[in-house]
Amino acid sequence: MTDRTAPASLLPLPVVIDTDPGIDDMLALFLALASPELEVRGITASYGNTVVENAYRNTVEILRRAGRRLTLGVGARRPLKRPLATAHETHGDSGLGYAALPPRG
């Protein structure tokens, strides 16, 4: 039997990541930023696990801790057709659970 899967590219895949960095996305971002298979060209942050202001702040902190500087866009502040609902009980006040973050400001 022959392996018909295409060989992995030697060039990293350019991507822009859209995220709502809570606990799960934080890990995914660290993995993507460290991957030799991806060239992360930018990140957009929106509400979801937390409000958009926290999502932006969390993304900035993740990039800082990963030692990366990238273009960062901010998405919608709320849904178009329903009230905003976040996962505060899971993701805490900041959206990153109970991880210690630098003070706002």
Average predicted confidence (pLDDT) for the chain: 87
Task: Kindly report, residue by residue over 40-95, the tens digit of the pLDDT.
Answer: 999 999 998 889 999 999 999 999 999 999 999 999 888 889 998 888 888 878 88
Taking a C-beta distance cutoff of 8 angstroms, is the pair 46, 75 a contact? yes
- The model carries a pTM of 0.82
Q: Which domain holds residue 85?
A: 14-91
Question: Does the pLDDT at position 7 exceed 70?
Answer: no
On whether residue 102 sits in a domain, the answer given is no
Predicted confidence at residue 95, as pLDDT, reads: 82
Residue at 104 is within a domain:
no
Is residue 8 included in any domain, yes or no? no
Q: What pLDDT score does 3 carry?
A: 62
Residue at 1 is within a domain? no
pLDDT at 100 over 60: yes
Over residues 11-23, the mean pLDDT reads: 93
| pLDDT (0 to 100) of residue 18 | 95
Give the burial class of 31: count Cβ atoms within 10 A of its Cβ; 0-12 exposed, 13-18 middle, 19 or more buried: exposed
Q: Is the residue at 7 inside a domain?
A: no
| Residue 82 placed within a domain | yes
In a domain, 50, yes or no: yes
Q: What is the DSSP string of the chain?
A: ----SPPPPSSPEEEEEEE--SHHHHHHHHHHHH-TTEEEEEEEE-SSSS-HHHHHHHHHHHHHHHT---EEEE--SS-SSS-----HHHHTTTSSTT---PPP-
Whether residue 54 is contained in a domain is answered as yes
Residues near 71 by beta carbon (within 8 Å), at least 6 away in sequence: 41, 42, 43
Count of structural domains, the chain: 1
Quote the pLDDT of residue 98.
76
